[in-house]
A and B are shown apart, each in its own frame.
Chain A
Amino acid sequence: MTHAVPGRPRLGAVARKIGGHLGRGLAMIWVVATISFVIIREIPGDPVLGQYESLIQKGMSPEQAERATAVLYGFLPTGNLWQQYVGYMGSLLHLDLGRSLSTPGVEVTTLIGHAARWTVLPVLAGTLLSFLLGVTMGVYAAIKRSGKLGDVLALSGSLLHGVPVYVIGLLLTAIFATLWPIMPSGGPVDVEFVPGFNAGYIGSLVHHAVLPVVTYTLASYGGWILAMKSNVVAVLGDDFILAAELRGLRRGFVFRYLARNAILPLFTILALSIGMLFGGSIFIEEIFNYPGLGLLLVNSISSRDYALMGGTFLVITVGIVVANIAADLLYTAIDPRVRSGGAA
């Protein structure tokens, strides 16, 4: 490019933009970490101090109890709030989220890492599958909106959108695991296979993932198809689509103009829901007995495992913050109007 087009950003501007996003993201994570520290510290009954005192009651010396508690939570149970806060932040910087109470001795990061695998697989697959399916069907529903096919598609969207995910999950389990048992009723994988890259293990993995993935897909498909349909209908009414037809553009081109413009707003939602997946899907994990992040969070709450709770919250936060940044950058990449920083 030999000439500078006004409003087109240069490399420096892009770097500045990314830097700004990262800075804001870090600030947000810091705020959430602080809030989660304050909550755990100030929750009625003070679990940290309680832990410390119960250890003393068990016969530990105060020094031992203090050290044991510090290992659990990442900061000293005694001292003033400020000192504790500095200690907590310090261990956070070392990615030390403390140790779990309910699974004694295991680091929170290890537990979260294990659980994340079982969440990312089915929820990510379900999100992407429902997105592709919903968007494709949404386009058809919009184009055929005055016909039978359009009505049926739109109705399927509204219906599935209205049914809660646990109803879908329970129905599928009842049908495919009980009435007609072709699918495993729960668990992430059969125990007889050796974990690793072998056909038996992966086959079992996929087999177990089918029902959760299908459940998740059906549950979120409705939202996608309805959103895509209304976007396509809106873009169809835009002048440039008719203009493209009047210029004799091939159907393929017109369709691409239509689809790209209609799908644009959905990318933000997609990026955000991928961020949300670190929260897991509590109902699906519960129904299919998937040891994912959602289940981990629920269990940490019911067993008052505060360190684990705080760690899980933090991971969810980071996931959402990163997804937000990704959504913004993605938008910048695909929408030239955002890229140059000004709407027409």
Chain B
Amino acid sequence: MTAHTAARHTAAPGVRIRDLTVVYKTPAGELPAVRGVDLALAPGTITGVVGESGSGKSTLALSLLNAVQPPGRIAAGSVEIDGLGDVLTLRGEDLRRTRGRQVGYVFQAAQNSLNPLKTIGKQLLDLGRSHDVEDLRGLVRDAKDLLARMGMDGARVLDSYQHELSGGMRQRVGIMLALVLNAKVVVLDEPTTALDMITQATILRIIREVHEERALTTLVITHDVGAVAEVADSLAVMYGGRVVEHGPVTEVLGSARHPYTQGLIRAIPRLSGDLSLARALPGRPPTLGTLPTQGCVFRERCERRMEVCETDEPMSVTQDGRTVACHAADRHLTLVKRKEEFV
């Protein structure tokens, strides 16, 4: 128990994803679902990743645990976590011990992330035994505390089977299992999908509170810009396997620079005001097979498309703590860069 309490006060680790490329094996060869992604999660912050289905956000999340499932494969890059080193080089037992203990993962569709044949309490004990927790009573106590923090009767929940809990309760159990071993890095993949609005708001509040209380470094994957605006400190926007824009959440949402981010924000229906003001992005998100191999991945749907977008892939340019990968957004900078290349 003392070890648990001590761990709670250590500083949050930083996470640096560098040049990460994940490919999936398809009949048409290996196609990249995530390509050349650079993303740093500052210690103690919540980073939100938004994007449409197929933008590579879940693949990115799984990469943090080196858990990309076949036919996927991490082709290049590194994921460095303070105190752990490059997660992508971990294998076997080292990797298993890292998962759960160091990096907590709240599963997409966490409602189905529990074994239907065992009570939550027994699954908790399995988790503790897997990670050599000696004080199992302490673990149960911690779990009950966490569940109580999330507004549930811990003793009752631990004594229940999955099917005896509602969707929102299972989601909270999933969060509890990700946190109970005091992992300092927590990845939440679509934590509020398939939940009703009230439960969504509760879950988001809990994520925020627990994050601050335990000094975590958190990554939240979602396709819900509204959800991310509520919890995140910084926001990364993914499109076609690339991070097209990244920066503090208020700035990215307040003055989006990438045309895709702007389109996403325009597509959000407002609670007040005319519903018709919300405009859907024209076109469809690319699939693995339809991703252009050269030029900008977004150009097909972009209203500010230029000639250069057809041939050159826009580079990520960082300025004032904001990163954008778009020829149009930072034409000037790009031009300067290209001139330098020619000299």
Query: Do A and B share a complex?
Result: yes
The chain A residues found within 8 Å of chain B, CB to CB, are 1, 3, 5-7, 238-240, 242-251, 253, 257, 260-261, 264, 334-337, 340, 342-344
User: Per-residue CB proximity of B66-81 to A under 8 Å, as 1/0?
Assistant: 0101000000000000
CB distance from A57 to the nearest CB of B (A): 67
**B116 with A249: CB separation less than 8 A:** no
Cα–Cα distance between A335 and B116 once the two chains are bound (Å): 8
**B116 with A240: CB separation less than 8 A:** yes
**Which of B96-104, B287-295, B305-313, B319-327 interfaces with chain A?**
B96-104
Given contacts A242-B69, A245-B67, A245-B99, contact A336 B163 (CB under 8 A): yes
Interface size on B, residues (CB 8 A): 38
CB distance from B22 to the nearest CB of A (A): 16
**B116 with A337: CB separation less than 8 A:** yes
Given contacts A5-B164, A248-B96, A250-B96, contact A336 B117 (CB under 8 A): yes
**A261 with B117: CB separation less than 8 A:** yes
Q: Can you list 5 residue pairs at the A/B interface with Cβ under 8 Å?
A: A5-B159, A246-B99, A247-B127, A248-B101, A340-B164
CB distance from B167 to the nearest CB of A (A): 10
**A253 with B156: CB separation less than 8 A:** no
The chain B residues found within 8 Å of chain A, CB to CB, are 65, 67, 69, 96-101, 105, 107-110, 112-119, 126-127, 129-131, 155-156, 159-164, 174, 177-178
**B98 with A240: CB separation less than 8 A:** no
**A244 with B65: CB separation less than 8 A:** no
Given contacts A243-B107, A261-B116, contact A7 B164 (CB under 8 A): yes
Residue of B nearest to A343 (CB): B163
**A260 with B117: CB separation less than 8 A:** yes
Interchain CB contact (< 8 A) of A336 among B96, B105, B113, B116: B116
**B117 with A247: CB separation less than 8 A:** no
Cα–Cα distance between A250 and B133 once the two chains are bound (Å): 13
Cα–Cα distance between A5 and B161 once the two chains are bound (Å): 10
Cα–Cα distance between A250 and B92 once the two chains are bound (Å): 11
Task: Please indicate the chain B residues that have their CB under 8 angstroms from the CB of A334 in the complex.
Answer: 117
Cα–Cα distance between A7 and B165 once the two chains are bound (Å): 11
**B116 with A246: CB separation less than 8 A:** no
CB distance from A67 to the nearest CB of B (A): 60
CB distance from B343 to the nearest CB of A (A): 49
CB distance from B107 to the nearest CB of A (A): 5
**B130 with A239: CB separation less than 8 A:** no
**A239 with B96: CB separation less than 8 A:** no
Task: Please indicate the chain B residues that have their CB under 8 angstroms from the CB of A249 in the complex.
Answer: 96, 100, 126-127, 130
Task: Please indicate the chain A residues that have their CB under 8 angstroms from the CB of B118 in the complex.
Answer: 257
Interchain CB contact (< 8 A) of B105 among A240, A247, A260: A247
Task: Please indicate the chain B residues that have their CB under 8 angstroms from the CB of A239 in the complex.
Answer: 107-109, 112-113
Residue of A nearest to B102 (CB): A248
Residue of B nearest to A2 (CB): B155
Cα–Cα distance between A331 and B245 once the two chains are bound (Å): 53
Given contacts A243-B107, A248-B98, contact A6 B129 (CB under 8 A): no
Task: Please indicate the chain A residues that have their CB under 8 angstroms from the CB of B110 in the complex.
Answer: 243
Given contacts A240-B114, A260-B117, A336-B117, contact A247 B163 (CB under 8 A): no
Residue of B nearest to A253 (CB): B126
